[in-house]
A and B are shown apart, each in its own frame.
Chain A
Amino acid sequence: MRARSSRPTRRRVITYLAAGVVLILMAFPLYGIMLTSVQFERDIRSADVAFVPTYITTKHYSEVLSAESGVPVAESMINSLVVGVTTALVTVLVAIPAAYALNRMRVPGGRVILGGFAAIYVLPTLLFVMPLFITMVQLGLYDTYIGLVLPYVAFTLPFMVWIMGSFVRSIPVSVEEMALIDGAGLFQLLIRIVLPLLRPGIFAGLLLGFVLAWVEFLTPLLFTSKLSMLTVTLGLFRSTMDIAIGQLAAATVLTALPVILITAFFQKNITEVITAGVER
């Protein structure tokens, strides 16, 4: 009896130990950067790393966001916000009709288009960037919002069509057929029936589009150089030239925070999407 009960207990202990190890491995770097961002420079630069803070300062955050900051972090966040929201709106607007047509209507070459949209991601982005760079310069789009939004939209679009497609397929066909039998035209069907049913998908798509634009680095690195066009990721990279480690840590947290909040909030949905993918 005793031997029998000790085995599950040992198993339990191992499970919790393993959970502790995983927790530390995955969270430690994030904890470290957050800790650095709220400590004074002299403590950050001491060899005895304090893993538990005895005080918290928001000094680095206010410095980084102030107008006197060496890298205009606040301005770069506004730039990324503008570019990200525009990208999200345009991408979703273009992706929805395409996703609907590709999944519910007969499009010549539809399968090739969907396959091509997935295959694109296999190739390195740098392969496409060189001619784009030349074109952007020739068209005078270098260092402009459009010069960023256009490649962002294009880089996000194929993925967005796929994601929107999965939401379109989840709408019961019978609902749409009912509307068609009632004599609704295609336009009415889309506006009155499909769009309202797609609302969760549209919301998810907007967030996804925003996040993908927010984190993009290569495009602004190559297609912008003016400080006034700085995006949040490029601004963060520029900050690495600075010597104040605390400020850099604060800028890192500010860059990552919006995406982390969105992910933590939607972790269930993200998991569902991936799980659905596995089952298929």
Chain B
Amino acid sequence: MTDPVRAIPLVRTKYRRGHRAAIAMVAPAVLIVAGVYLYPAVATVAYSLSDIDLSPRFRIVRLVWFANFVNQLQSAAFWEATRITLYFGLMLCLLTVALSFAIASLLNQTFLGRGLLRVVVLLPWAVPPVASGVLWVQMFHAEFGFLNGLLRALGAEGEVIWLGGQTIALHSVLIAEVWRWIPFATIFLLAGLQVVPRTVKEAAAIDGAGSWRTFTNVTLPLMMPVVIPVVIFLFVWAMKVFDTIYVLTRGGPSRSTTTLNYLVYRQGFEQFDFGSAAATAYLLSALTVMAIAGLGWMLTRARRLAGT
């Protein structure tokens, strides 16, 4: 107890030397995670640098160094997937945050049935991704899907082929994913809104700021430290979307819904080209890490601006 001001829990001091017990308690978790994450992560590096033969059984034929990476960076399919992935990620973040912000602002008011609405808003999150995929397949069904039924009921002619065209299929997947992520973003943003002191907004209103000006000049900057973490979460998830694409479109029509993550699956488990799949997986990881670094930098700036 050298520093009486900073009270160090006795539990910590007592077991300072008793490393062995602490290590024994952490060891099983670390060993499992190392076995299932660390070893494969290293092995995938090896795969990405090799020529791999999978039939009749797994065999590393020879080391090809960066050939797999170069092949990917020179292939049109890779860049197409990169473009789709980035577009998908940006749109998912933008749409989800905008809609969730509106819903959170609504839930931040008092009205009859707010508790019920809160539960309903949370529900899509509880739907297993595959179930949500199947659910949206039925929603999007051209002949007897609910969306076209709704359009017909509103008097529209003909039918929208939701999963048929290249552009619309990607946006249909987007709709399904936005619906799934609104619950998380809404709760997160609602918690943030409740922290933004009402008095600040009232002061702005007294100073004569309209509700839109109050929003853009007061609420939004104060909320940025909450918005950016949501964006980071959403972006990471967008980079990892698999189940919804697999169930809804299988990456098609043609390659229009093949994101990088789905490309890894295609290369690895449809073409059984583990070398290319490993290289693509690492390129995707690099992209994700760079995006997070950028967003993290924005977060520190936003925190400074918001004064927290």
Q: How far is the CA of A36 from the CA of B134 in the complex (A)?
A: 12
Residues 122-169 (chain B) with a chain A CB within 8 angstroms: 122-131, 134-139, 143-144, 146, 149-150, 152-153
Q: How far is the CA of A12 from the CA of B21 in the complex (A)?
A: 60
B16 is an interface residue with CB less than 8 A from chain A: yes
> A127 and B40: CB pair below 8 A?
yes
Name which residue of chain A comes closest to B150, CB basis. A49
Q: How far is the CA of A221 from the CA of B19 in the complex (A)?
A: 41
With A104-B11, A129-B40, A130-B268 in contact, do A157 and B33 touch (Cβ < 8 Å)? yes
> A106 and B32: CB pair below 8 A?
no
> A47 and B191: CB pair below 8 A?
no
| Chain A residues in 8 Å Cβ range of B292 | 122
Q: Which of A63-71, A197-205, A263-271 binds B?
A: A263-271
Q: How far is the CA of A101 from the CA of B243 in the complex (A)?
A: 35
Residues 1-58 (chain B) with a chain A CB within 8 angstroms: 9-12, 14-16, 18-19, 21-23, 25-26, 28-30, 32-33, 35-37, 39-41, 43-44, 47, 58
B209 is an interface residue with CB less than 8 A from chain A: no
| Chain A residues in 8 Å Cβ range of B11 | 104-105, 173, 176-177, 180, 189
Q: How far is the CA of A107 from the CA of B284 in the complex (A)?
A: 33
> A23 and B120: CB pair below 8 A?
yes
> A154 and B123: CB pair below 8 A?
no
Q: How far is the CA of A48 from the CA of B152 in the complex (A)?
A: 8
Q: How far is the CA of A32 from the CA of B265 in the complex (A)?
A: 31
Q: How far is the CA of A222 from the CA of B118 in the complex (A)?
A: 36
> B21 and A252: CB pair below 8 A?
no
CB distance from A213 to the nearest CB of B (A): 11
Q: Which of B23, B127, B188 contacts A278 (CB 8 A)?
A: B188
B146, B195, B288, most chain A CB atoms within 10 A: B146
> B127 and A121: CB pair below 8 A?
no
Binary contact readout A164-188 vs B (1 if CB under 8 angstroms, 0 otherwise) = 0000000001001100110000100
A102 is an interface residue with CB less than 8 A from chain B: yes
| Chain A residues in 8 Å Cβ range of B127 | 30, 256, 259-260
Binary contact readout B245-279 vs A (1 if CB under 8 angstroms, 0 otherwise) = 01100000000000001001100110000100110
> B143 and A47: CB pair below 8 A?
yes
Interface footprint category on B: 35 or more
B239 is an interface residue with CB less than 8 A from chain A: yes
CB distance from B267 to the nearest CB of A (A): 10
CB distance from B25 to the nearest CB of A (A): 4
| Chain A residues in 8 Å Cβ range of B35 | 154
> B128 and A214: CB pair below 8 A?
yes
| Chain A residues in 8 Å Cβ range of B143 | 45, 47
CB distance from B55 to the nearest CB of A (A): 12
A56 is an interface residue with CB less than 8 A from chain B: no
Secondary structure at the B interface, as helix, strand, loop or mixed, is helix
Q: How far is the CA of A123 from the CA of B103 in the complex (A)?
A: 30
CB distance from B176 to the nearest CB of A (A): 9
B215 is an interface residue with CB less than 8 A from chain A: no
Q: How far is the CA of A116 from the CA of B36 in the complex (A)?
A: 13
With A123-B288, A259-B127 in contact, do A29 and B120 touch (Cβ < 8 Å)? no
B81 is an interface residue with CB less than 8 A from chain A: no
Q: How far is the CA of A100 from the CA of B11 in the complex (A)?
A: 11
Q: How far is the CA of A263 from the CA of B180 in the complex (A)?
A: 14
CB distance from B121 to the nearest CB of A (A): 5
A248 is an interface residue with CB less than 8 A from chain B: yes
| Chain B residues in 8 Å Cβ range of A217 | 128-130, 242-243, 246
Q: How far is the CA of A153 from the CA of B33 in the complex (A)?
A: 9
A163 is an interface residue with CB less than 8 A from chain B: no
CB distance from A54 to the nearest CB of B (A): 16
Q: What are 19 A-B pairs at a CB distance below 8 A?
A: A19-B111, A22-B117, A28-B146, A30-B124, A45-B144, A94-B32, A102-B26, A105-B22, A105-B25, A106-B16, A122-B236, A123-B288, A124-B240, A157-B32, A173-B10, A217-B243, A249-B138, A255-B131, A275-B187
Q: Which residues of B pack against A, CB within 8 Å? A: 9-12, 14-16, 18-19, 21-23, 25-26, 28-30, 32-33, 35-37, 39-41, 43-44, 47, 58, 102-103, 106, 109, 111, 113-114, 117-131, 134-139, 143-144, 146, 149-150, 152-153, 179, 182, 184, 187-188, 191-192, 194-195, 226, 236, 239-240, 242-243, 246-247, 261, 264-265, 268-269, 274, 277-278, 281-282, 284-285, 288-289, 292
